[in-house]
């Protein structure tokens, strides 16, 4: 199993973290996102969406972290939800892709990786507001729960937490979200858990 990824990608980390914690053997194919590789014709031939992650498993090529996670659960059974919880897991993965990780990833990118001359204070303020709204939703959901859905970890946990282990600022005043912090610690305690920068290649970024 091969995962196209890079260290700063929380979307790729969702899959890398799942594979590592499940103990499924996998290889990584480093994608040089910061050099524009995801927009190259060669990469677009692998994924027309121009995004990381991509997973190749034999003849199967998949993109979209939520789809890859769903495929892996179907194939391996690791972190499968109880049958009655399948739709609830999907509901949170979709929420994450729209309201969670898409906001966290973009805001973190603008704040930390975009050249300073291109940063726009109004855009940053707006997107930080979106992040805080999503974090408030997540924090409320996690009150009195160890995991996103049911009583065991599922792909909803891997998906929703993808960006939340990174330390670069993107609007998360961590002390404001104690239930998120407790839940992240539950995930850190899973066997073989690794921080994204210790799991995927490409950190630290080369200095200009
Ligand atoms: N919903 C997608 C999001 C993937 C995504 O946005 N990946 C980013 C890296 S974290 C990317 O490759 N962006 C390339 C670009 O926007 O040019 C998923 O969950 O896989």
The domain limits of the chain are: 2-79+193-199, 83-188
pLDDT at position 193: 98
Q: Which residue has the CA at smallest separation from atom 11 of ligand 1? A: 51
91 vs 168, higher pLDDT: 91
Tell me the pLDDT band of 172, cut-offs 50, 70 and 90: confident
- CATH among 2.60.40.10, 1.20.140.10, 1.20.1050.10, 3.75.10.10 for 83-188: 1.20.1050.10
C-beta neighbour count of 97 within 10 angstroms: 17
Q: Is the CB of 65 under 6 A from ligand 1?
A: yes
DSSP structure string for the chain? -EEEE-TT-HHHHHHHHHHHHHT---EEEE--GGGTGGGSHHHHHH-TT--S-EEEETTEEEESHHHHHHHHHHHH-TTPPPGGGHHHHHHHHHHIIIIIHHHHHHHHHHHHTS-GGG--HHHHHHHHHHHHHHHHHHHHHHTT-SSSSTTS--HHHHHHTTTTT--S-SS--GGG-HHHHHHHHHHHTSTT---HHHHSS--SPPP-
pLDDT (mean) for 5-9? 98
pLDDT at position 170: 80
pLDDT at position 69: 98
pLDDT at position 67: 98
pLDDT at position 169: 82
Residue 177, pLDDT above cutoff 70: yes
pLDDT at position 45: 98
- Pick from 5, 6, 11 the residue to mutate for probing ligand 1's pocket: most ligand atoms within 8 Å of its CB: 11
As a whole-number percent, the residues of the chain with pLDDT over 70 amount to 100
pLDDT (mean) for 90-119? 97
pLDDT at position 207: 81
> How far, in Å, CA of 129 to CA of 103, rounded?
10
pLDDT digits (tens, 9 = 90+) for 12-63: 999 999 999 999 999 999 999 999 999 999 999 999 999 999 999 999 999 9
Average pLDDT value over all residues in the chain: 97
Q: Which residue has the CA at smallest separation from atom 18 of ligand 1? A: 64
- CATH among 3.30.70.1230, 3.40.30.10, 3.40.50.970, 3.40.50.10260 for 2-79+193-199: 3.40.30.10
Q: Is the CB of 50 under 6 A from ligand 1?
A: yes
Q: Which residue has the CA at smallest separation from atom 19 of ligand 1? A: 65
Q: Which residue has the CA at smallest separation from atom 15 of ligand 1? A: 51
How many angstroms is it from 176 CA to the middle of ligand 1?
A: 27
Give me the residues paired with residue 56 across strands: 2, 61
Please state the pTM of the whole predicted model: 0.98
How many angstroms is it from 52 CA to the middle of ligand 1?
A: 5
Tell me the pLDDT band of 139, cut-offs 50, 70 and 90: very high
Alpha carbons within 13 angstroms on the beta-carbon side of residue 118 total 7
Q: Is the CB of 38 under 6 A from ligand 1?
A: yes
Residue 208, pLDDT above cutoff 70: no
pLDDT (mean) for 69-89? 98
């Amino acid at each position: 199993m091969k995962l196209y990824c890079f260290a700063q990608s929380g979307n790729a980390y969702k899959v890398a973290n799942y594979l590592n914690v499940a103990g499924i053997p996998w290889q990584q194919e480093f994608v040089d996102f910061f050099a524009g590789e995801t927009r190259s014709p060669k990469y677009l031939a692998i994924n027309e969406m121009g995004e990381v992650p991509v997973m190749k498993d034999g003849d199967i090529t998949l993109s979209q972290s939520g789809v890859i996670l769903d495929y892996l659960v179907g194939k391996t059974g690791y972190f499968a939800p109880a049958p009655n919880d399948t739709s609830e897991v999907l509901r949170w993965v979709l929420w994450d892709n729209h309201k969670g990780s898409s906001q966290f990833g973009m805001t973190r990118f603008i704040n930390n990786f975009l050249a300073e001359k291109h940063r726009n204070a109004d855009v940053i303020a707006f997107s930080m507001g979106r992040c805080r709204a999503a974090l408030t939703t997540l924090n409320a959901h996690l009150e009195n729960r160890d995991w996103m859905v049911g009583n065991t970890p599922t792909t909803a946990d891997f998906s929703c937490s993808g960006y939340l282990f990174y330390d670069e600022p993107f609007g998360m005043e961590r002390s404001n979200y104690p239930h998120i912090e407790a839940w992240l610690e539950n995930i850190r305690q899973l066997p073989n858990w690794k921080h994204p920068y210790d799991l995927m290649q490409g950190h630290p970024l080369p200095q200009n």
